[in-house]
Structure 1
Amino acid sequence: MKFDTKTAHDVAAAQQALQAERFRILRAAVTKNYTLTEDTEKSGSEKDAQVPDVSEPPIPKLVVTFPDDLPTIKDVVLLEEETGNRVISADSVAFNLEELDENEKFREGGILYLVGDSTVFWSMIQLWHETGSTGLDEWDRLLAITKEKPADASRVDCMFFSTPFGCLQHTGNLDPYCPFRHDVGRKKRLRERVIADRLANLGLPTHEERQRLARKALQKLEEFEKRKPNDDEIDTCYELYVVGDNRARVFCKQCEKPEPKAVGDEAFKRCKRCRNVWYCTADCQKTDWKEHKRSCQPWEKVVYRE
């Protein structure tokens, strides 16, 4: 993707405006310069509801207000031990932060990106103020560094520096107006992790692809047996093709046979050039080569291009 000079600077200006507001929210959060109260204003749908749902207690929505001109943050739902008791669940905060760490955009954007996730961010902040810890050393350190000198933006990682088009770096010059930290080492580590993740996931079937193969296998069974598969056969097929994460099983590109899991069974062979397809036998690989060679590219080229 390429930008002309004006568009590039417009994008940079929008990035700085977003970062500036989120940094002000972060400063208010770590210095406890905010008020968290229950939202008493009902939405239109709630006003129009004729029969209340009493099956479960309503999840209270909170609002965060600030003493200055920062906009009010609405619809905040905390990760509580019990609904409405305002006691933050440390396990839920830690779980959500660790889950977010698998999100590439979250890793790139860092703490300023997290500010945009009101549930996780304000739950973490409340827990930190109440107990002195978020439950994760890395986040304790980040919050402590920010609180020590809350006006110093250079202590906080730039939300866009690790992205391809952040801070005008695609123009060859960093944005001189960006006050946030540009950590080259962090950016390099994030890039290496992305490449490692891409490589690890090359060619692994998605959940939808596994479902498609399961349906196709059941269709073949029906055609061969001249009858509908019974429940046990459907369950077995589902277990074979669909259950488990993407790393649990791969499929032969030629015959679509699933890789066996039993101990002692021979694992499928992966194409050494692209690392994107698997074969159950050398014969299947030879049979498929005429078609596969049209799309087979060195895995390094594919991963780095992405």
Structure 2
Amino acid sequence: MRHVVIPRAGGYDRLTVETRPDPLPEPTGVVVAPEAIGVNYADCVVRMGLYSSAREYVGWPITPGFEFAGTVCAVGASVTDLAPGDRVFGVTRFGGYATRVAVPRHQVFALPARFDMAQAAGFPAVFLTAYFALFELAHPRPGQTLLVHSAAGGVGGALLQLGRIAGCRTVGVVGASHKVEAARALGADAVIDKSREDLWRAAERISPQGYDVVLDANGVSTLSESYKHLARPGKLVLYGFHSMLPRQGGRPNWLKLAADFLRTPRFNPLDLTSDNASVLAFNLSYLFERRDVLEEAMGRLLAWVDEGRILPPPVTRFPFGQVADAHRALESGTTVGKLVLVP
């Protein structure tokens, strides 16, 4: 098998393709030959050496990758409901950038009839993130107003679609004019193009009473204002800190990281109580072993896919050997939807 290996933290040059023997399945596991592999911004953070669960569970060297779609090539002795040749997609806590991926059975799902392999490979990480943020943490009520940052990206686009399913009014924020129509197509009731207008002035115009839920993966660049623009009561859900990381060059700027860390707001429990506001956060990679969470979330998501209520994310494909180009494109902030590697 071929797999991408990062020997130590760094830039795009750290992404090397190596070969090793194919893995064997655990008794309750499966081995899949991916035909497409999802690329997520978290993979770039792993490469930079800044992803906490990567350090905790793997260390160096590491093969990044959280999601894949392909064909089953081997099953463990205890697996009776899958067989070689079955078309599946799934999640893995690292190790996804490979031509063979071994995972527990509960992390693999039948390929949806409405998706091709590339669309399926780009589906689980972003939709599970969006599902957990909305339905496990925020619990929005029909008619409430959501503000979604990075609305044309993978998780942002998933949040717009799930917000519509939840019966909410969704306001998407994008950073470039070419992303406005993408956000509208995914269900945004209003779109703020912060490259052309002041973000927070527009947010106040659209929802003068504030937002019942704000979903923010930017970090320090928007965190304070996201909190200030909550309705009362309101919930701020955090799932990333993208603005602290580089837009070009592929390496962290340690002075900027230190300055942004110092500027990151600290939420005092007394203030939260007085403001009648909640701040919630999570990291999806710590939840993959939670079979109950995965089964419930994927069960509901795939039912909505079958009903046509969820559209597959728009996908840009990169050959497996051009993984550095995929990371470079994702970090540029110009992409729409999901990127996938094709072995």
TM-score class, shorter: under 0.3
If you compute each CA radius of gyration, which structure gives the higher value, 1 or 2?
1
> Normalising by the residue count of structure 2, what TM-score does the alignment of the two structures yield?
0.20
- Normalised by the size of structure 1, how large is the TM-score? 0.22
| Greater RCO, 1 or 2 (C-alpha within 8 Å, sep 6+) | 2
